[in-house]
């Protein structure tokens, strides 16, 4: 069973094509992280699922129901999706318990509300009002409220963007655990690659309204389809093929570069953890950035290309030191468009 299916979905706002022929599936119980830069269509995709606006082409299915195909357009309240947004839209004049029970339209509302508050660890706050809660607490309540009517799919649109870094990782992990324990499939929108890598069973990368890659976090991080995905998912250096010999072991790993990449404009993507620095010659440490647990060195290769290299903080190297850049055994460069 699939929880959600997008089949060639297009959505326009005037001349802007916000979703451009998007096809995508989410399996039951799966959490899909949807990432991409601002304006790429993430919120439009969620709103299309929720039924906040109709799409202009294609079909959206939730479970085995068509919810939008241009003819059928199920209203939002009949789609059985839960929504959590960045700006936690709790009702200010309702208590926490009443907020959570709000979407349950029968006499189980109170019981269900307390059940959900227990799930998110907010039972003690049931009688409070939204303005008496911290940002993280409000997001837990928003989650409880979205879960109370037993949605078939949860949609989260940058739900933690307003929380500070430490709190955010904790609330994020709690939310993911709750989604998993209730076996609720979810689309989790974020513009943060760390969030995406941490929460997604799979990641879909969106660019200009198009899905450019869908895969597990490991696939998307280590085998990006292009340079855009490579850069978006994490820090990387790009070494032109012509300079491959400047990194020790790189040319060996590639075999014959000419055979691998006939096009001269292609490059090798190297993550900072791909490169080790050894005593030697041929490269020089140009810059050192302290990151707490590690140093990140920028190393200038003989041909003028630069790579980055992470190194434990206990083994610092001075800027200006001559070194040899070595491909770490087991790491393989990815070939991308130059
Ligand atoms: P994201 O959530 O990835 O930042 P959005 O889905 O909000 O991106 O927007 C995608 C594109 O569609 C942008 O170019 C945005 O300006 C446009 N857009 C979104 N909503 C509307 C709207 N209601 N009216 C006009 N243009 C819109
Ligand atoms: Mg958005």
Cβ neighbours of residue 125 closer than 8 Å, sequence gap 6 or more? 96, 117, 132, 133, 137, 141
Give the 3-state secondary structure of residue 327: strand
Q: What is the reported pLDDT for 166?
A: 79
How far apart, in whole angstroms, are the C-alpha atoms of residue 181 and residue 152? 14
pLDDT (average), residues 102-114: 92
Reply yes or no on whether the pLDDT at 98 is more than 70.
yes
d(CA 47, CA 31): 17
Which pLDDT does position 167 carry in this prediction? 79
User: What is the Å distance from ligand 1's center to 18 Cα?
Assistant: 6
Q: Whose CA is nearest to atom 22 of ligand 1?
A: 13
- For the stretch 29-71, pLDDT in tens is 999 999 999 999 999 999 999 999 999 999 999 999 999 998 8
Q: Average pLDDT of 244-269?
A: 70
- Which residue is associated with the tokens 């059940």? 115
Name every residue whose Cβ is closer than 8 Å to that of residue 78 and which is 6 or more positions away in sequence. Answer: none
Residue-level pLDDT at 259: 56
Nearest C-alpha to atom 26 of ligand 1 is from which residue?
Answer: 13
Ligand 1 pocket residues where CB is under 6 Å: 13, 16, 18, 36, 38-44
Pocket residue to mutate for ligand 1, from 40, 43, 44, most atoms within 8 A of Cβ: 44
Instruction: Give the chain's mean pLDDT.
Output: 91
User: Which numbered atom of ligand 1 lies nearest the CA of 45?
Assistant: 6
So what's the pLDDT on residue 336? 81
Determine the pLDDT at residue 332: 81
Name the percent of the chain lying above pLDDT 70: 96
Quote the DSSP letter at residue 29. T
Confidence band, pLDDT 50/70/90 cuts, at residue 255: low
- Report the percent of the chain where pLDDT is more than 90: 70
Higher pLDDT, 332 or 127: 127
Question: Mean pLDDT throughout 73-92?
Answer: 88
* pLDDT, tens digit, 9 for 90 and up, residues 155-182: 999 988 777 877 788 888 888 998 999 8
pLDDT at 277 (0 to 100): 95
Out of 57-71, 79-93, 172-186, 290-304, least confident range? 79-93
* Predicted local distance difference test score (pLDDT) of residue 244: 79
Three-state SS for 318?
Answer: coil
Q: CA angle at residue 188 from 272 to 217, to 5 degrees?
A: 35
**Exposed / middle / buried, residue 77 (Cβ in 10 Å: 0-12, 13-18, 19+):** exposed
Pairing of strands 186-190, 153-157: parallel
- Model confidence pLDDT, tens digit, residues 189-242: 998 899 999 999 999 999 999 999 999 999 999 999 999 999 999 999 998 887
Distance, CA 37 to ligand 1 centroid (Å)?
Answer: 12
Query: Beta strands of 93-171 (E only): which ranges?
Result: 153-157
Rounded distance, CA 133 to CA 114, Å? 17
Residue indicated by tokens 């119980």? 29
Burial zone of 152 (CB within 10 Å; 0-12 exposed, 13-18 middle, 19+ buried): middle
Q: Which of 9, 12, 16 to mutate to test the pocket of ligand 1 (most atoms within 8 A of CB)?
A: 16
Atom of ligand 1 nearest to the CA of 44: 6
Q: Which of 181-190, 250-259, 268-277 has the lowest mean pLDDT?
A: 250-259
Residue with tokens 């802007």: 16
CA distance 61 to 5: 5
CA 184 – ligand 1 centroid, Å: 27
The answer to whether residue 257 scores a pLDDT higher than 60 is no
Q: Whose CA is nearest to atom 15 of ligand 1?
A: 39
Could you tell me the distance, in angstroms and rounded to a whole number, from the CA of residue 46 to the centre of ligand 2?
9
Residue 258 has pLDDT above 60, yes or no: no
């Amino acid at each position: 069973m699939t929880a959600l299916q997008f089949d060639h979905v297009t959505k326009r706002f005037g001349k802007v094509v916000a979703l451009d022929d998007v096809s995508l599936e989410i399996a039951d119980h799966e959490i899909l992280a949807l990432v991409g830069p601002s304006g790429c269509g993430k919120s439009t995709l969620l709103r299309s699922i929720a039924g906040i606006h109709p799409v202009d082409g294609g079909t959206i299915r939730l479970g085995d129901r068509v919810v939008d195909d241009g003819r059928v357009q199920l209203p939002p309240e009949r789609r059985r999706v839960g929504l959590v947004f960045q700006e936690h839209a709790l009702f200010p004049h309702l208590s926490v318990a009443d907020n959570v029970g709000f979407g349950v339209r029968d006499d189980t509302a109170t019981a269900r509300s307390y059940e959900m508050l227990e799930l998110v660890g907010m039972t003690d706050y049931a009688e409070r009002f939204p303005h008496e809660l911290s940002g993280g607490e409000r997001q837990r309540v928003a989650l409880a409220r979205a879960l109370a009517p037993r949605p078939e799919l949860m949609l989260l649109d940058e739900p933690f963007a307003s929380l500070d870094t430490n709190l955010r990782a904790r609330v994020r992990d709690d939310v993911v655990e709750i989604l998993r324990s209730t076996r609720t499939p979810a689309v989790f929108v974020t513009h943060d690659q760390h969030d995406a890598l941490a929460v997604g069973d799979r990641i879909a990368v969106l660019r200009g309204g198009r899905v450019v890659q869908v895969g597990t976090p490991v696939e998307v991080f280590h085998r990006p389809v292009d340079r855009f995905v490579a850069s978006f998912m994490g820090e990387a250096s790009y070494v032109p093929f012509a300079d491959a010999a400047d990194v020790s072991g790189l040319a060996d790993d590639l075999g014959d570069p000419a055979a691998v990449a006939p096009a001269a404009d292609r490059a090798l993507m190297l993550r900072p953890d791909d490169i080790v620095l050894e005593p030697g010659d041929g490269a020089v440490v140009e810059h050192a950035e302290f990151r707490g647990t590690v140093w990140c060195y920028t190393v200038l290769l003989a041909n003028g290309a630069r790579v980055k290299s992470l190194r434990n903080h206990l083994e610092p190297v001075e800027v200006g030191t001559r070194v040899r850049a070595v491909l770490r055994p087991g790491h393989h460069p990815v070939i991308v468009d130059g």
